[in-house]
Amino acid sequence: MAKELTPRSENYSQWYQDLVIKADLAENSAVRGCMVIKPYGYAIWEKMQAELDRMFKETGHVNAYFPLFIPKSFFSKEAAHVEGFAKECAVVTHYRLKNDEESKEIVVDPDAKLEEELIVRPTSETIIWNTYRNWIQSHRDLPLLINQWANVVRWEMRTRLFLRTAEFLWQEGHTAHATKQEAIDETIKIINVYAEFAENFMAMPVIKGLKSENERFAGAIDTYTIEALMQDGKALQSGTSHFLGQNFAKAFDVKFTNKEGREEYVWATSWGVSTRLMGALVMAHSDDNGLVLPPKLAPIQVVIVPIYKKMEQLGVISEKVDTIVAELKAKGISVKFDDSDNKKPGWKFAEYEMKGVPVRLAMGPRDLENGTVEVARRDTLSKEIVPLEGISEYIERLLEEIQQGIFNKALDFRTKNITKVDTWNEFKETLNKKGGFIWAHWDGTSETEEKIKAETKATIRCLPLDNEQEEGACVYSGKPSKQRVLFGLAY
Amino acid sequence: MAKELTPRSENYSQWYQDLVIKADLAENSAVRGCMVIKPYGYAIWEKMQAELDRMFKETGHVNAYFPLFIPKSFFSKEAAHVEGFAKECAVVTHYRLKNDEESKEIVVDPDAKLEEELIVRPTSETIIWNTYRNWIQSHRDLPLLINQWANVVRWEMRTRLFLRTAEFLWQEGHTAHATKQEAIDETIKIINVYAEFAENFMAMPVIKGLKSENERFAGAIDTYTIEALMQDGKALQSGTSHFLGQNFAKAFDVKFTNKEGREEYVWATSWGVSTRLMGALVMAHSDDNGLVLPPKLAPIQVVIVPIYKKMEQLGVISEKVDTIVAELKAKGISVKFDDSDNKKPGWKFAEYEMKGVPVRLAMGPRDLENGTVEVARRDTLSKEIVPLEGISEYIERLLEEIQQGIFNKALDFRTKNITKVDTWNEFKETLNKKGGFIWAHWDGTSETEEKIKAETKATIRCLPLDNEQEEGACVYSGKPSKQRVLFGLAY
């Protein structure tokens, strides 16, 4: 088989890289850190986008579009924000190229220097809140519930396809509210939307929680996160929702007249998920044979491969297949009949396994005689012979079962990989030998958090939302602690 | 009424600007030449995107995503291409900001200069063909039918909302083919898709044609265009499809092995429409009261306004309205019931007129008694009283009638504004007094075309595809001509 992956057990990181390339999801481009999202990868992203967009609209949000460029001076207006993003941003300084007379080369025209440099947006709070100043005067203009689908650029030094790229695609919500409570409610509403999307569509269990101060978004009062566990025991932050308080309203002077006629600064949230979710999807479920896709996000849910020796057999098989295809399509199931004659069935089987197509049907002359078809599940790699009678209902149920099965498997893995530890030795041992989430007491200080990170690279992934209060001693400092938090190595 | 537009007859250009702002479609941002597309404008763009995307997929295309940045050296590889775009592009030269110790200001970090400057894509042929080199080896890899939805930047000096902006949103198709004929067929297939979209969805009649050499895309062998006529008699190029020959394949060394086993350069097309279509939509149909939207692209197709004096009346009206809303939604018609009590009906009428909602229902206590409702058409501004019995079927038919009516009106206007002229005086007089398309003989030389442009600003909009051959004399030079071409002033 031409397309083999490095096994996960041998080199997980190489397995991921191999898989993203060989399943035709994405590849590195000629531009440092920027990826090309290939058609098959983009088709999955489009399905993610469609579901998320529907969920945002159902919760009252509308889409809009703001400029790609942010004037440098805007950037500097919120101190924590610029501190967080200045070190890794692409800067536009000129607006023209020209032919150099001497070298005959195309060069930047020094006469076309911008008065003020423009930053390619790494996130849009500053340009958006500068715009909101003109949109918001009265409490009647609130809430403003706006989302944007866009590309952003962060000049990361070490990049990995989907997980960390200089340019990535995302959605960023930016909402404005009349009260603090309303803004906090919005922040939580969205983290719930993200969790629902991750669990019901990506089949990926997540833990919802608050970030510690060290891990907050630059400019936020509170950052909510959903954290997922990958098969190598590392955590992946999959979506964040920020309560921004009045920080951006103050930086951009956005006030409104409240119901009592007094002027107040506006309350803000922002929230986003990105093409990073593609990386999470790959790493949460896939195996050494290739992608495993949850049916709800699979561009092709069912593939049908004919098995034949003579061309006339293909004709008879195709006739039968056409009725199956029609039945499946009528149920809204996406199906591909691969009757290409330049590839052997074995090659096709391996190819669709690599691409994570949830269900494969194989049909040969004997199946036709017996009124059966071979049905193979991608997630379990199991096969069975099924009667053609009622096949579309069978597949419909099977797809649901697969969606649930993939989720259950990931949940089971996560359950086994959350370890409660009470001593620093246990902490280090668990981290080294097992990985996963470590559930330990912490004294609540940034100082301790930084020391733990320096010694182990582990970070606080979150303070889970449904946390129980429990008296204890910090696993590192021994100081008193009111609750356990989730530690882990992270992507 | 708060929101008044400058009448078209007084100042068409100001009318357009007023309308785009007052209908909440878009506004200028703090970044020179870049616009903010507001939620209502973006909702229309989303409807355009959805239809176009469906049409591209139905014709076998898939979406992908390529980098925002293009290395400067790629740009220089196709001579005509760089010539066309170098003068107006945003150049990224640095990848970091820093705090200046002395001034305490955020400045560009001189130590973070890129080795090679990056151009923010003005169009993606170069980065895409550099990628295709690795994707195409054999005739089995062809055709490659890929589209991208993206933002692009062209540093235009004079910008106007939607019509000409430094950043705009668009789709760009980039296809690769084994033969010249196949690439030409693709180019024509797409110009037909664009024309179908313009006429059936935007209700905007267009003329399909070939561009003259002067007006071709930089790097193309042939450019096909759809040209629409705006109400001020100026033409608007609304979509283009380019046959690129082997120009980009040669510049980026993209070869394939054909069926006979010989190496050949790949044949290419590219094609795009952009948020410019929003400008076309506004200018083609709207009037001095505001937007006129074709129902197929209207975010809200029907608005219902209750007319009442006492709050209890609103309750009774709402009950009746709820059943109408349910019936309309069941037919896939988007409907809004505006029962906000802080605005008067008259204010609402004006507001939805401004926003171009195709159908407005007004319902008061008397209507309830009589079992009727007042139905107002946005396009004709006519009203009638209609029985509630069968109202949803009535509205369904009415929306179709409006869609067709708007198209017919625009077609009628265009028909009256294509003028056949045979002398240079007639040409100039028609251009000055009437505008519109001028249908005249041309000797086929760039020289004549340039002289006509220099004297009158008129350009050749296209050589229509269904052109009849006709012997004649060039309206400017008097030299022999084989066909008439379409001239006009253009946006």
Cα of A64 to nearest chain B Cα, Å: 5
What residues of chain A lie within 8 A of the CB of B140, using their CB? 342
Instruction: Say yes or no to pLDDT of A102 above 80.
Output: yes
pLDDT tens sequence across B28-40: 999 999 999 999 9
Rama region for A60: left / alpha / beta (φ>0; ψ in -120 to 50; rest): left
Whether residue A106 and residue B63 make contact (CB cut-off 8 A), yes or no, is no
* CA dist., res. A33 & res. B378, Å (int): 51
Instruction: Say yes or no to pLDDT of B429 above 50.
Output: yes
Task: Give me the domains of chain B, ranges plus CATH numbers.
Answer: 12-61+133-285 (3.30.930.10), 300-398 (3.40.50.800), 420-488 (3.30.110.30)
CA dihedral of A339, A345, A348, A349, whole degrees rounded to 10: 130
pLDDT average, residue stretch A223-239:
98
Cα of B182 to nearest chain A Cα, Å: 21
Cα of B439 to nearest chain A Cα, Å: 37
Instruction: Say yes or no to pLDDT of B198 above 70.
Output: yes
Q: Measured between CB atoms, does B278 come within 8 Å of chain A?
A: no
Residue B250 has φ and ψ, to the nearest 5°, of: -70, -40
pLDDT average, residue stretch B298-327:
95
pLDDT tens sequence across A80-100: 888 889 999 999 999 999 999
What residues of chain A lie within 8 A of the CB of B80, using their CB? none
Instruction: Say yes or no to pLDDT of A2 above 70.
Output: no
* CA dist., res. A144 & res. A136, Å (int): 9
Instruction: Say yes or no to pLDDT of A1 above 50.
Output: no
Residue A275 has φ and ψ, to the nearest 5°, of: -60, -10
pLDDT tens sequence across B202-224: 999 999 999 999 999 999 999 99
The answer to whether the CB of A98 falls within 8 A of the CB of A109 is yes
- The confidence band for B78, taking pLDDT boundaries of 50, 70 and 90, is confident
The answer to whether the CB of A184 falls within 8 A of the CB of A243 is yes
- The confidence band for A76, taking pLDDT boundaries of 50, 70 and 90, is confident
Which among A6, A360, A24, A36 is positioned nearest to A168, based on CA atoms?
Answer: A36
- Sign of the CA dihedral B234, B239, B245, B248? positive
What residues of chain A lie within 8 A of the CB of B36, using their CB? 64-67, 131
The answer to whether the CB of B206 falls within 8 A of the CB of B199 is yes
Rama region for B452: left / alpha / beta (φ>0; ψ in -120 to 50; rest): alpha
What residues of chain B lie within 8 A of the CB of A56, using their CB? none
Q: Which of B65, B71, B169 sits opposite A37 (nearest CB)?
A: B65
Residue B415 confidence (pLDDT): 97
> Percentage of chain B surpassing pLDDT 90?
93
Q: Measured between CB atoms, does A70 come within 8 Å of chain B?
A: yes
The answer to whether the CB of B152 falls within 8 A of the CB of B121 is yes
Among the residues of A286-434, which ranges form H helices?
311-330, 345-354, 365-370, 391-416, 424-433
Cα of B144 to nearest chain A Cα, Å: 10
The Cα-based distances of B238 to A358, A398, B187, B370 in angstroms read 42, 47, 15, 48
Whether residue A127 and residue B62 make contact (CB cut-off 8 A), yes or no, is no
Residue A420 exposure: Cα atoms within 13 Å on the Cβ side: 4
Cα of A273 to nearest chain B Cα, Å: 17
pLDDT average, residue stretch B48-77:
97
User: How high is the ipTM of this complex?
Assistant: 0.97
Number of CB pairs, chain A paired with chain B, less than 8 A apart: 185
Whether residue B63 and residue A46 make contact (CB cut-off 8 A), yes or no, is yes
* CA dist., res. A123 & res. A240, Å (int): 13
Residue B179 confidence (pLDDT): 98
pLDDT average, residue stretch A165-192:
98
pLDDT tens sequence across A445-469: 999 999 999 999 999 999 999 888 9
- The confidence band for A79, taking pLDDT boundaries of 50, 70 and 90, is confident
- The confidence band for B1, taking pLDDT boundaries of 50, 70 and 90, is very low
Residue B467 confidence (pLDDT): 86
Mean pLDDT lowest for which of A118-122, A427-431, B132-136, B313-317?
A: B313-317
Average model confidence (pLDDT) for chain B?
A: 96
Q: Name the helix (H) or strand (E) containing B186.
A: helix B180-200
Whether residue B167 and residue A67 make contact (CB cut-off 8 A), yes or no, is yes
DSSP, res B140: G
Whether residue B68 and residue A153 make contact (CB cut-off 8 A), yes or no, is yes
Average model confidence (pLDDT) for chain A?
A: 96
pLDDT tens sequence across B158-173: 999 999 999 999 999 9
Instruction: Say yes or no to pLDDT of B104 above 90.
Output: no
Instruction: Say yes or no to pLDDT of B2 above 80.
Output: no
